Amino acid sequence: MSETPDPTRLSTGVDGLDAILHGGLIAGRSYLVRGAPGTGKTILGTHFLKAGVDEGGTALFVNLEESEEDVRQNAASLGIDLTDVEFLDLSPSASVFVEDQSYDILSASDVEKEPFIDAVTEAISALEPDRVFVDPITQLRYLTSDEHQFRKQAIGFMQYLTGKGATVMFTSQNTADRPDDDLQFMSDGTIELESREMGPTVDVPKFRGSDAERGTHTLSITDDGISVFPQMNPLEHSREFSKESIPSGVPEIDELLGGGIERGTVSIISGPTGVGKTTLGTQFIKQAAEREERSVLYLFEESYSTFRERNESINVPISQMESQESLHIREMEPLNLSPQQFAHQVRTEVEEHGTELVMIDGINGYQLSVQGGHDTLIKKLHALGRYLKNMGVTVIFADEQQHVTGEFSATNSGVSYLADNIVFLQHVELDGELQKVIGVLKKRTTKFERTLRQFEITEHGVQVGEPMTDVRGILSGTPEWTEPATQTADE
């Protein structure tokens, strides 16, 4: 029994959407693009047509609402050149559109009589387009006497176009008084564009003849047109790597960690504000640079200039690492960024630039971009962390604790289960002074030192003391010196 050949795919003109559709639209079928005004339906259609002419095909825009001039100008403002795209202008201002007249689309007895049908059949016969975009098909309602006639004519229109070998994308205007649910049944696929609190999104709830990536994906409309950022599926990505220890370059920290943190693991550095979380993470970045490995640091809670100046002052050569391209720093604005957009940036760093260490500073700032509560945060961090681990990338998350001293907890964000390693920093009052301590709470892959050590940031960098075995109650915030053991008379 022979296998069914894979269907021919056509690019939508948007790489991220093609990825969601597992290669693009299936040729010779019709696809409905739904969405409220301003969600990008027409822009997506122009991408679709432009991709066709770029591949050497023919493309036809059947515009039933906006004029051809407006469509071309709007597309040009987004860098989409429609010079080689043919138009069949059936907009209200076009002479072929006769107001208040009803047409029976593709009715053999009337084809030669009605100007609308004449225009369609003439354009299709002359051009024989590979791709057709109809925007919006719901405008045909104004040419029909009732909903039954509208559905009949719309179905006939689609069958006529696909019967001529065209792949068709058409839009609808879904309103409360005139829903477009019926149009979904006549299409081979549905692409839904929506404006949500988290920003513009795209979903593909229906796609006949193939699988598609389900769920809500992020969409962005910029001066370059539409970009789509699919949800990350970490199971689709992996590569071989050596599971070696990555040292910090500070001997005492490496002793605490049993040699360092392992490549391809997720580490959380936890602690209150000002305790040195970012500085500690940067130690691993500095050491990676000495091994000529590339790292990327995403700053969600600190400006680039402050970070650079602060680290240069403690002997961490940020500028030198950047000039050698062993470090790339991105100052993030979480409110203008979706988790899918961020994941796309990370993937680009890993897959195109060979980044081997990723640090996110910090989780609280990243959570602002999630805009979906704690459960959504956990899902997004889990997917991102799993992807990076599968790719052999070492991951460091900085997580800020709310309490400066006392009331110790592993993490503030409740993400401790995601971590292979948890290193905590804590402020304590010792001998009347506010000091810092460091310890390791969790390490999955190797043994680690279960003592605490004093932690200090000096002009020469990070300095860590010997194990504090003569102090107890440190994590409670009220440490006490232990009494030395009393010697016996025989001793």
Q: Rounded to 5 degrees, what angle do the CA atoms 137, 139, 142 make?
A: 135
Q: Taking the C-alpha atoms of 302, 262, 296 and 351 in order, what is their torsion angle to the nearest 10 degrees?
A: -150
Do 250 and 185 fall into the same domain?
no
Q: Is residue 490 part of a domain?
A: no
| Final residue in a domain of this structure, among 180, 199, 230 | 230
- For residues 155 and 256, membership in a common domain is answered with no
Same domain, 268 and 225: no
60: domain CATH number is 3.40.50.300
DSSP label at residue 40: S
Domains identified in the chain, total number: 2
Considering the domain architecture, whether residues 320 and 195 belong to the same structural domain is answered as: no
Within this chain, do residues 306 and 450 fall inside the same structural domain, yes or no?
Answer: yes
Q: What is the C-alpha separation between 394 and 317, in angstroms, rounded?
A: 21
How far is it, in rounded angstroms, from Cα 224 to Cα 21?
21
Are 212 and 277 part of one and the same domain?
no
* Cβ neighbours, 10 Å, residue 18: 19
Q: What is the model's pTM?
A: 0.80
Q: Based on the fold, state whether residues 192 and 323 are members of the same structural domain.
A: no
CA dihedral (28, 32, 37, 41) in degrees, to 10, reads -30
- Per-residue model confidence (pLDDT) at position 380: 86
Same domain, 313 and 369: yes
375: left (phi over 0), alpha (psi -120 to 50) or beta: alpha
Residue among 472, 297, 434 nearest 425 (CA): 434
Return the pLDDT at 156. Answer: 82
The confidence score (pLDDT) of residue 457 equals 94
Question: 385 to each of 334, 389, 418, how far by Cα in Å?
Answer: 18, 6, 8
**Which residues, other chains included, contact 297 with Cβ-Cβ below 8 Å and sequence gap of 6+?**
281, 282, 285, 307, 327, 328, 329, 330, 359, 361
For residue 70, the surrounding DSSP H or E stretch is helix 68-77
**Over its length of 491 residues, how does the chain's per-residue pLDDT go in tens digits?**
445 556 789 999 999 999 999 999 999 999 999 988 889 999 999 999 999 999 999 999 999 888 999 999 999 999 999 999 999 888 776 554 444 444 344 443 343 335 666 778 888 888 999 999 999 887 777 666 677 777 777 888 888 899 999 999 999 876 666 667 777 788 899 999 998 877 789 999 999 988 899 888 999 998 989 999 998 888 888 888 888 999 999 999 999 999 999 999 999 999 988 899 999 999 999 999 999 999 999 999 899 999 999 999 999 999 999 999 999 999 998 777 888 888 999 999 999 999 999 999 988 888 877 666 677 778 888 899 999 999 999 999 999 876 655 555 556 666 788 899 999 998 887 777 888 999 999 999 889 999 999 999 999 899 999 988 887 776 666 667 776 544 444 44
Specify the amino acid at residue 480.
Answer: E
**Domain interval for residue 285:** 236-481
Burial of 243 by CB count in 10 Å (0-12 exposed, 13-18 middle, 19+ buried)?
A: exposed
On whether residue 407 sits in a domain, the answer given is yes
Q: State residue 91's pLDDT score.
A: 78
Same domain, 281 and 177: no
Q: Is residue 76 a part of any domain in this protein?
A: yes
398 and 455 share one domain:
yes
Could you tell me the two tokens for 84?
A: 């080689």
- Alpha-carbon distance 89 to 63, whole Å? 5
- Measure CA 171 to chain center: 26
Strands (E), 242-302: 245-246, 261-262, 266-272, 295-299
Give which of 135, 167, 183, 124 is closest to 25, Cα–Cα. 167
Task: With CA atoms as reference, report the closest residue to 282 among 258, 302, 255, 264.
Answer: 302
Of 179, 202, 230, which residue constitutes the final position of a domain? 230
Residue that is last in its domain, among 215, 230, 245: 230
Distance CA 291, CA 3 (A): 50
463 Cβ contact list (under 8 Å, min separation 6): 250, 455, 456, 457
Beta strand residue intervals within 189-250, DSSP E: 189-196, 199-207, 217-222, 225-229, 245-246
Q: Are β-strands 433-443 and 453-458 bridged in parallel, bridged antiparallel, or unpaired?
A: antiparallel
Whether 216 is covered by a domain: the verdict is yes
80 contact partners, CB below 8 Å, separation of at least 6: 43, 46, 47, 50, 225
Helix H or strand E encompassing 184? helix 181-185
CB of 79 within 8 A of CB of 223?
A: yes
Let me know: does 80 contact 47? Beta carbons within 8 Å: yes
Task: Answer yes or no: do 308 and 226 share one domain.
Answer: no
Nearby residues of 405 by Cβ (< 8 Å), 6 or more positions away: 272, 426, 427, 428, 429, 477
Cis peptide bond upstream of 136, omega within 30:
yes
Contact residues for 434 (Cβ-Cβ < 8 A; gap 6+): 427, 428
**Euclidean distance between CA atoms 379 and 374, whole angstroms:** 9
Q: Which residue has the tokens 């899902």?
A: 379
Q: Which of 462, 461, 444 is closest to 453 using CA atoms? A: 462
The whole-number pLDDT of residue 371 equals 66
Question: Does one domain contain both 391 and 246?
Answer: yes
Count of CB atoms situated within 10 Å of the CB of 215: 13
What's residue 411's pLDDT? 60
The answer to whether position 486 is within a domain reads no
**pLDDT computed for residue 286 by the predictor:** 96
491 within some domain: no
114 part of a folded domain: yes
Taking the C-alpha atoms of residue 245 and residue 262, their distance in angstroms, rounded to an integer, is 4
The answer as to whether 2 is a domain residue is no
